[in-house]
Amino acid sequence: AENILKQVQQGEIYRPGHYVAIDRSAKTIVLSIRGTMRVQDVLVDLVCEQEKFESIFDGDEVITGKAHQGFLIAAKRLARELHVL
């Protein structure tokens, strides 16, 4: 339990259940996001248009691509929320 930094079991629309933990032996942070389980998750799944995105990796490398719009909205929301951890 001391290695789990945050745990959200139920989630809500555009905020899936997830947990953040520390893997001390590998010296890494683990983010696990639950897949489709509830009606709210299905609603996100149905927002399935492609959306272009741009992300900064490792401080200066810009990555661009296309993503499932509902998943991208959820990922951005989680990123904003978890950034403070």
Q: Could you state, in chain order, the average pLDDT of each consecutive group of 10 residues for the chain (85 residues)?
A: 88 92 95 92 94 89 95 93 85
Give pLDDT, residue 10: 85
Pairing of strands 50-57, 4-8: unpaired
Query: What residue has token string 């933990």?
Result: 21
What values do phi and psi take at 63, rounded to 5? -115, 130
